[in-house]
């Protein structure tokens, strides 16, 4: 059996890139030709006729994927070069046939929504609880999943996001048990929790808690190239043949061996040094959390939200300080400090194994200075936070709405119409409005407020939301 310290694919890519005797008459066209190639392309290599031979007979990718499956205790793993997006959509294609129902958390990422369109699945939405103070999403109670499965005994599976973007997890073990009893697979989008299960102070990952599939981005929090993600699954309730076909249907025929290799080396790093590196992250986050929690009015999300909380996550709710998160972001940006999410009420700086005491110290002091400078009257959270509390009224399936004839109307007169496009405050890309849902005045107003206060509204034709695309009457 191979050791988790081995890196069959990363080694093969390194060997290919280092071999001066190779004279390629293959893609990529740049051939890393001196004088022609941008240095950014130095690590660009193909898998076929590059890291492996033309016939892939070395099975270097397969070997690397089996090592990753072994590390997560999965029966099957594929490396994604289109992020967790690819994994989510492959899972949707594997879950059922057009017209089949699936139970889905409404805090889903827009990639899974697109997966529902591709697969023609009909979502039975379950909403997470919402924290009344911050407006941020909490977990989905297990009883809510049980009730949805009871009300829809024909449902073919359950899709959750765990932890959610703000670090909160549902009781995945209880939900997995419910799914087992109902005989349906549980697929967990764990895009933000690639490190879960690799330190005793962290919650176990979703497969260890009984999920049938797990998708996670290596690029978000670990050392994968941007775009890299793992799709991991267990046989039994999921049809792994269908999953493989769905995965291949969506995959490029020219995956970057550099991206794939970074998934191999990330897996080895996690296996060999994960616990040590994650101990460092946990200490850095704990320190930042303690220092920032001392700022008057600032709420640092944590286990006091009443749900399982990812101790490696740092989420700051600003409403109590009166400071505008977009102004704070501007201040700290000017000092070179960049965060993963900023809107009026919320800031999410991502602290990872790539950080140090020095980098986190800079973050904390820049934030502390700016929050004091921008302090104002405490206010209620609103705007972009409204996305978490969406209670959708569904008129058409995602697929029907996606392909329906459409027209553009002024948002001011759009309430009651059926949305034909996605509107998602970005990051994190959770659809506040999704095709097929009936538009409501409070939601349109909350989104207009979010846009007016500096949040980018993504995936819609008019990002100011003065107009919106609706299904034509
Ligand atoms: C919950 C969730 N799932 C999936 C994705 C997509 O991940 P990727 O960018 O790796 O495709 C994201 C991205 O932000 C996300 O937040």
What letter would DSSP give residue 393?
-
Segment 103-127 mean pLDDT: 96
Let me know if residue 175 belongs to a domain. yes
The residue among 374, 403, 431 that closes a domain is 374
CA distance 339 to 351: 9
User: Given the DSSP bridges, would you call strands 316-317 and 456-458 parallel, antiparallel or unpaired?
Assistant: unpaired
Q: Looking at the structure, tell me whether residues 341 and 394 fall in a common domain.
A: no
User: Are residues 410 and 364 both part of a single domain?
Assistant: no
pLDDT at residue 386, as a whole number: 67
Distance from Cα 88 to the centre of ligand 1, integer Å: 9
Q: Is 295 within a domain?
A: yes
Lowest mean pLDDT among 99-108, 124-133, 446-455: 446-455
pLDDT (average), residues 185-198: 98
* 199 and 153, same domain (yes or no): yes
Of 255 and 389, which is predicted with more confidence? 255
Element at 308 (helix H, strand E):
strand 308-309
Contact 127, 140 (CB under 8 A): yes
- Residue 128 maps to a domain: yes
Q: Judge if 281 and 245 occupy the same domain.
A: no
Are both 186 and 237 inside the same structural domain? yes
Q: Which protein residue has the closest C-alpha to ligand 1 atom 1?
A: 109
How sure is the predictor about 454, in pLDDT bands with cuts at 50, 70 and 90? confident
The DSSP bridge pattern shows strands 101-105 and 122-126 to be: parallel
Residue 164: inside a domain: yes
Instruction: Give the model's pLDDT for residue 387.
Output: 67
Pocket of ligand 1, candidates 84, 426, 456: which has the most ligand atoms within 8 Å of its Cβ, to mutate? 84
- Which CA distances in Å does 85 have to 229, 262, 442? 9, 18, 30
* CA 432 vs CA 48, 167, 223: distances in Å: 41, 19, 30
Tell me if 205 is assigned to some domain.
Answer: yes
Task: Tell how strand 316-317 and strand 346-348 pair up.
Answer: antiparallel
State mean pLDDT over 356-361.
98
Domain interval for residue 196 = 55-252
How big is the CA angle at 464 (ends 462 and 465), to the nearest 5 degrees?
70
Give the separation between CA 425 and CA 427, rounded to whole angstroms: 6
Pocket-testing residue among 90, 111, 221, ligand 1, by greatest number of atoms within 8 A of Cβ: 111
- Token couple for 95: 């879950």
Judgement on whether residues 286 and 209 belong to the same structural domain of the protein:
no
What pLDDT does 437 receive?
A: 95
Q: What's the pLDDT at 219? A: 98
- CA of residue 80 to ligand 1 center, whole Å: 12
Same domain for 291 and 220: no
Residue 142 confidence class, pLDDT cut points 50, 70, 90: very high
Whether 156 and 286 share a structural domain: no
In a domain, 35, yes or no: no
Domain count, the chain: 3
Instruction: Please report where in the chains the tokens 């320190």 appear, as a residue.
Output: 287
**Pocket residues: Cβ below 6 A from ligand 1:** 83-85, 88, 109, 111, 161, 165, 189, 191, 217, 229, 428-429
Q: What is the pLDDT of residue 172?
A: 98
H/E element, 468: strand 467-471
Q: 3-class DSSP state for residue 370?
A: helix
**Does a structural domain hold residue 193?**
yes
The pLDDT value given to residue 13: 97
Q: Whose CA is nearest to atom 14 of ligand 1?
A: 428
Residue 361 belongs to domain with CATH number: 3.90.1150.10
Q: For residue 120, give both structure tokens.
A: 């023609």
Mean pLDDT computed over 256-279: 98
Please, which pLDDT band fits residue 34 given cuts at 50, 70 and 90? confident
Any long-range contacts for 245-248 (C-beta under 8 Å, 24+ apart)? Answer: 245/93, 245/94, 246/89, 246/90, 246/91, 246/92, 246/93, 246/94, 247/78, 247/80, 247/86, 247/87, 247/90
Output the average pLDDT for the chain: 95
Residue range 49-70: mean pLDDT, rounded: 97
**What is the Rg, in whole angstroms, of the alpha carbon atoms belonging to the chain?**
23
Higher pLDDT, 91 or 33: 91
- pLDDT score for 406: 97
- Per-residue pLDDT of 320-339, as tens digits, reads 999 999 999 999 999 999 99
Q: Grade residue 235 by pLDDT with cuts at 50, 70 and 90.
A: very high
Last residue of a domain, one of 318, 341, 374: 374
Which of 221, 252, 283 terminates a domain? The answer is 252
370 lies in the same domain as 390: no
Beta-sheet pairing, 308-309 with 299-300 = unpaired
C-alpha 191 to ligand 1 mean position (Å): 5
Average pLDDT of the segment spanning 144-171: 98
Residues 303 and 418 grouped into a single domain: no
How far, in Å, from the CA of 36 to the mean position of ligand 1? 34
Residue 428: cis peptide before it, omega within 30 degrees of 0: yes
Within-domain flag for 445: yes
pLDDT band of 449, cuts 50, 70, 90: confident
Q: State the CATH number of the domain containing residue 110.
A: 3.40.640.10
Q: Are residues 225 and 361 in the same domain?
A: no
pLDDT at position 1 = 55
CATH number at residue 393: 3.90.100.10
Beta-carbon contacts of 165 under 8 Å, excluding residues fewer than 6 positions away, are 107, 137, 192, 341, 348, 427, 428, 430
Q: Are residues 247 and 357 in the same domain?
A: no
Tell me how far apart the alpha carbons of residues 384 and 166 are, in angstroms, rounded to a whole number.
13
| Banded model confidence at residue 183, pLDDT cuts 50, 70, 90 | very high
């Amino acid at each position: 059996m191979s050791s988790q310290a081995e890196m069959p694919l990363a080694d093969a890519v390194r060997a290919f890139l280092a071999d001066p005797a190779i004279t390629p008459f293959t893609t990529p066209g740049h051939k890393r030709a001196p004088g022609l190639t941008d240095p950014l392309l130095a690590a660009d290599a193909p898998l076929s006729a590059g890291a492996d031979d033309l016939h892939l007979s070395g099975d270097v990718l397969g070997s690397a994927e089996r090592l990753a499956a072994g590390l997560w205790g999965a029966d099957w793993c594929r490396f994604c070069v289109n992020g967790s997006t690819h994994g989510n959509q492959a899972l949707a294609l594997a879950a059922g046939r057009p017209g089949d129902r699936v139970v889905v958390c409404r805090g889903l990422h827009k990639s899974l929504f697109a997966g529902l369109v591709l697969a023609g699945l009909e979502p039975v939405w379950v909403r997470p609880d919402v924290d009344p103070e911050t407006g941020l999403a909490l977990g989905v109670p297990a009883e809510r999943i049980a009730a949805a499965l009871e009300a829809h005994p024909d449902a073919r599976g359950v899709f959750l996001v765990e932890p959610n973007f703000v670090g909160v997890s549902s009781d995945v073990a209880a939900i997995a048990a419910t799914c087992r009893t109902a005989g349906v697979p549980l697929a967990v989008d764990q895009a933000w929790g690639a490190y879960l299960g690799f330190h005793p102070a962290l919650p176990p990952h979703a497969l260890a808690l009984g999920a049938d599939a797990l998708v996670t981005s290596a690029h978000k929090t670990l050392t994968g190239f941007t775009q890299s993600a793992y799709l991991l699954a267990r046989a039994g309730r999921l049809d792994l043949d269908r999953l493989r076909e769905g995965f291949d249907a969506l995959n490029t025929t020219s995956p970057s061996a550099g991206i794939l290799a970074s998934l191999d080396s990330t897996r080895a790093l996690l296996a060999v040094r994960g616990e040590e590196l994650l101990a460092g992250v946990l200490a850095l986050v704990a320190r930042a959390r303690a220092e920032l929690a001392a700022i008057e009015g600032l709420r640092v999300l944590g286990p006091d939200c009443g749900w399982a909380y990812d101790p490696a996550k740092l989420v700051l709710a600003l409403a109590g300080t009166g400071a505008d998160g977009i102004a704070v972001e501007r201040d700290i940006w000017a000092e070179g400090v960049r965060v993963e999410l900023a809107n009026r009420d919320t800031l999410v700086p991502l602290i990872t194994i790539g950080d140090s005491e020095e980098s986190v110290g800079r973050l904390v002091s820049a934030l502390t200075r700016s929050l004091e400078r921008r302090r104002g009257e405490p206010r209620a959270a609103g705007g972009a936070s409204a996305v978490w509390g969406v209670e959708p009224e569904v008129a058409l399936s995602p697929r029907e709405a996606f392909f329906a004839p459409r027209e553009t109307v002024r948002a001011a007169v759009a309430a009651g119409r059926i949305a034909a496009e996605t509107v998602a405050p970005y990051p994190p890309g959770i659809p506040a409005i999704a095709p097929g849902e009936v538009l409501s005045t409070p939601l349109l107003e909350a989104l207009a407020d979010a846009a007016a206060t500096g949040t980018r509204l993504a995936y819609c034709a008019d990002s100011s939301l003065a107009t919106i695309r609706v299904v034509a009457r």
